[in-house]
Chain A
């Protein structure tokens, strides 16, 4: 079945350093979504990417969807302590509808102030 893999599983950075998490799907995706879960909290939707090669920015966060629509990345510039949490990517299961998503296992980001 479809697999969505994320690396790294954990990342610890000093405040001000950059951070990148990568997401790879075993199948071509019609779109990809990113979620953030703060410690003790619940996942919150960040963004959806749809087009091949798409790049979207949200302040210090840059999201990219690969040309082949099988991989994606989230890059955070100059991390802050507020960026701490687990970042998940998710893609629609076979069939293309977002009705059912497959989530990656997430990347836990910790930031040392």
Chain B
């Protein structure tokens, strides 16, 4: 059963700590994305990657970092430099074979920084 997994579903961290959110896909998609969702704000793009070992900053990359060492994995690190990290984080993927005509989303991780 192909899809995207994100873990954990809920994550609590103390202020000042870095935290890494996991995103794994077995859809064989080349492109992967991280979005942040806040109430009433829609989906804002943090980082995206079109191929392995390459990634680009999105609209709100400050305070975040990513890596793309494997096609299946695109972890997001929320650093202590992120001023307001409490949010719902969504990972997505899409395929150039389908002209990126649909983004598939994982279930999301809700991060709360105390």
Contacts and interface: CB of A to CB of B under 8 A. Distances in A.
Which among A42, A43, A99 has the greatest number of chain B C-beta atoms within 10 A?
A: A42
B58 to A, nearest CB: 8
Given A98-B100, A99-B31, A99-B50, A9 B40 contact: yes
B89 to A, nearest CB: 11
Interface in B59-114: 90, 92, 94, 96, 99-108
A94 interface: no
B80 to A, nearest CB: 27
A43 B90 contact: yes
Contacts of A45: 102-104
A104 B42 contact: yes
B43 interface: yes
A14 B77 CA distance: 43
A68 interface: no
Interface residues of A, number: 21
Contacts, number: 48
Nearest to B99: A98
A48 B105 contact: no
Interface of B: 31, 35, 40-43, 45, 48, 50, 90, 92, 94, 96, 99-108
Contact of B43 (A9, A31, A44, A88): A88
A102 B31 CA distance: 16
Nearest to A41: B107
A88 B42 CA distance: 8
A42 B108 contact: yes
18 contacts: A31-B101, A33-B103, A35-B103, A42-B105, A42-B106, A42-B108, A43-B103, A43-B105, A45-B104, A48-B101, A48-B102, A97-B99, A98-B100, A99-B31, A99-B50, A99-B94, A103-B35, A106-B42
